[in-house]
Amino acid sequence: MKTRCTIPMWAAKTGYIIMSLVFCTAGVVFMAKPDLSASLIGRVLGVAMILFGAVKLVGYFSRDLYRLAFQYDLGFGLLLIALGVLVLIRPTQVLDFIFTALGVAVLTDGLYKVQIAVDARRFGISTWWLTLALAIAVGAVGLALVFRPWDSARLLTILLGAALLAEGVLNLCVAVSTVKIINHQQPDVIEVTSYEVEDEPL
């Protein structure tokens, strides 16, 4: 029987890991250097969101074995791409919007990952509790980013960095622990060859 091509799955998993590391790196940089210009912050986030959105779309259509990590990534990937394009068009004018939009995105992703953690437990994945703990932490940071308890641009940039770092760690954990790829995975629809049987004469 013909098996499913695993190239899209490997591409999605590798892309997820790479973009998670990019988010972690950007988060550390924002936290270490909170005085970066609004234009630079906007461009970095815009490019990162577009790339991660594309990776999420690839993941959604790759159909790995468990189908946990990518199950909500069709709409979320399109949302990230749209936000990334908007940010790149006006990187300085929409900075206030960036904090709110990214906060909502991070909060939403944290809630989705809570559901993924619950599903991972049913699949018997031993690290489900780590995904759950990280998802709750990401949701809390995203909520703080939405309500922005400080008016200082410096503190908000640090909070933005913390959100990106937490999001990167969460997605890295999910990609490593829940994306299962096997070389002999069967397609969803089994091809059945039908034969026409002639009616026997009475």
- What whole-number percentage of the chain has pLDDT above 70? 82
pLDDT at 97 over 70: yes
pLDDT at 190 over 50: no
- Read off the tokens for 76: 């979320």
Q: What is the crossing angle of helices 128-147 and 95-122, to 10°?
A: 160
Task: Give residue 197's pLDDT.
Answer: 46
Q: What is the crossing angle of helices 153-178 and 95-122, to 10°?
A: 30
pTM across the whole model: 0.79
pLDDT at 187 over 80: no
